A and B are shown apart, each in its own frame.
Chain A
Amino acid sequence: MKPPTDTLAAPAAEATDNPVAGIDQTKGDFSYNVAYAFDAGTGLSEDTVRYISSVKKEAPWILEFRLKALKKFLSMPMPTHWATKDLENINFDKIRYYLSQGQKPKRTWDEVPDDIKRTFERLGIPEQERKFLAGVEAQFDSEAAYSNIKEVVAKQGVIFVNSTEGLREHPELFKKFFAKVIPTGDNKFSALNSAVFSGGSFIYVPKGVKVAQPLQAYFRINAENFGQFERTLIIADEGAEVTYMEGCTAPKFSTSTLHSAVVELVALKGAKIQYITVQNWANNVFNLVTKRGIAHEEAEIKWIDCNIGSRLTMKYPGVVLKGRKARGEVISIALANDGQHQDTGAKMVHAADETTSNIVAKSISVGQGRSTYRGVVHIPKHLKGCKNNTECDALLINSHSRTDTYPAITVRGDRNFVQHEASVSKVNEEMIFYMQQRGLTEGQAMSLAVNGFINDLARQFPMEYSVELKRLIDLEMEGSVG
């Protein structure tokens, strides 16, 4: 808990040949020296948790919540009985758990300190905000440096702040839903997040309000050996509609970085929440995220989850279908390149009659990259008229890559309908030769094959994101040609 030191990596070269912001790893691979005013030091203890809570000037119940979570985290084993042993390579004593320049985000880019502002400018965030977003939150390490919502949206009563502000300014609303969708002890990493969480978004959309443009959060890791633990809570009141998009990048450090978020969504009666992630972590990042939503009667929650980059991603967005006729959907795209493991999937828990869920997961494994799909679909016996459709398709590019599928579907009773399809295909040499014979380079050919494979899913993205996704795949594939 010492005063800040300025010991970060020297700024990387400014030169970059890709003008599209925030999405490809080369673009994100830079860091500037930043003077942190608040630093919880290295390693995790009760003191770390107390420090975080005190700089945030939190209510006592939150500190208590955090300390309980810490105990939980320390008592829970690593889930290596089913998950990869690579998790054991995370050294929790070497991680820095809180770094910030202050707890209050700025409302205009002009007020954001220059050393942080230039990072987001380089990632193109202010420009995207002007073009097509209803609101933006830009988190730099532990806290949001910038957070703003367009006046017209704010006037409708929409709240869009970071979690620190949310807890301070809307405690009643926050407390009512916080940790209700994902309990602290859901898994080891949700417990860790609950102990040291900082940043993330708090969104409330009032009854009947439909936010036309997306709200966007951008999560940026700047410091080495850092852990980012944002906590996001989105509540769509009855009949409300909102689309939230998040993007993430980090510079490439030789040591590992941890990103462990918890995201909870609550869609009340007839509400619709669409949550879109395009993550593009550098390949030293452990990305262990818990995401779940509760859909009440006739509500709809849709996760569009696109995982590119990171060393290891474990993420299974889920929907608890709590009310009659609720709908849940997970669209998942994962690309595992050399040295990466994308362990992703979906969870659908049916808890009311006539609920429907849809899972479409596509993974691409390149080189030594490894993709794993894990799915859970649960329909208990007493329910009727429930439907689930699961499709998981894997694409392998060259013989070293690996893909595994672990679907777990429990359907009791005979009044429900479930459908599961899985496929594994290969981009074969003949297909690549065919495209090369038309004048495409090997890299262009592979990238076109991959884009074709995910085409039906990419079309569901907002245009700006699908263009970025395509560009990112182009880059990944260009780089994978030996």
Chain B
Amino acid sequence: MSSLVIKDLHVAIGDKKIVQGLSLTINGGEVHAIMGPNGTGKSTLSKAIAGHPDYTITSGDVLLDGRSILDREADERARAGLFLAFQYPSEIPGVSIANFLRAAVQARLAEGEEIDATAYYKRLYSKMDLLKIDRKFTSRAVNDGFSGGEKKRCEILQMAMLEPKFALMDETDSGLDIDALRIVADGVNTLRGPNLGVLMITHYQRLLNYIVPDHVHVMWDGRIVKSGDKSLALELEAKGYDWVKKELAATATAAAATAATVA
């Protein structure tokens, strides 16, 4: 079984420390959700793991199947089985989705090996059927002039074709109306299975009604401060992030009191 292990990770953008000692283990087949208020480092976490050059990992490690990926370029991490579904996917004018995916699939072949075009299109069409995507979709340029929903659907299709071991889904629900959200969630649920581990990053509990996670983590100030099962998400929804904040403050006070007593 595959595993993605994040060990005491610290990430900075320039001088600014964003992620400060985050640890998490995801096994193949599991769906984890990270929730937290804006500015707490959720998106930074996913981009740093994916290898974005603006994000510096100052300490800690990320292991994919037991091997550190931090010495690898973003494209090597991707080919090793890591997929990032972007919050804001880039537009690539003039490059059709079909050609883009073809290049991505080709990049995974050994040097000198040519992609079998017939087999490729057969597989692409079967994935599109699976995700109920219209055939015309892949002749459009990647994300060029797409609605929010279309962009996310394009991400899901890419994920289906590239068959990663782990998918990091960054605010997949942002900017989507309820219909688009349902379509995207259906896609993820279709792809869900023992060979795929998912880390969903979200601000709202809403998405988790459609993609039910096995584990829920609350992120605060660059770390995970609370973990639980799906009921934690509901509790958060009912009580708000302030509840976590108060609990954290209480813990801190207690710790300080304990420290004082000991002294």
Contacts and interface: CB of A to CB of B under 8 A. Distances in A.
Nearest to A450: B94
A440 B142 CA distance: 15
B90 A431 contact: yes
Contact of A438 (B91, B94, B162): B162
B75 interface: yes
Nearest to A454: B94
A437 B74 contact: yes
B92 to A, nearest CB: 6
Contacts of B94: 451-456
Q: How large is the interface on A (under 10, 10 to 19, 20 to 34, 35 or more residues)?
A: 20 to 34
B107 A439 contact: yes
A444 B107 CA distance: 9
Interface residues of B, number: 29
A442 B84 CA distance: 17
Interface in B71-91: 73-75, 78-79, 83-84, 86, 89-91
Contacts of B51: 436-437
A194 to B, nearest CB: 41
Between A430, A431, A438, A454, the greatest number of chain B beta carbons within 10 A of the residue's beta carbon is seen for A438
Contacts of A430: 90
Contacts of A110: none
B132 interface: no
Given A429-B53, A433-B52, A451-B95, A438 B104 contact: yes
Interface string B227-246: 00000000000000000000
Contacts of B90: 430-431, 433-435
Nearest to B54: A429
A453 B79 contact: no
B103 interface: yes
A394 to B, nearest CB: 14
Contacts of B206: none
B160 interface: no
A376 interface: no
Interface in A428-468: 429-431, 433-442, 444-445, 448-449, 451-456
A444 B91 CA distance: 16
Nearest to B84: A437
Nearest to B74: A436
B107 A440 contact: yes
A441 B52 CA distance: 13
Given A440-B75, A455-B95, 5 more contacts: A433-B52, A436-B51, A439-B79, A439-B108, A440-B103
15 contacts: A429-B54, A431-B91, A431-B92, A434-B89, A435-B92, A436-B73, A437-B75, A438-B78, A439-B78, A440-B75, A445-B75, A448-B95, A455-B94, A455-B95, A456-B94
Nearest 3 Cβ contacts at the A-B interface: A452-B94, A455-B94, A452-B95
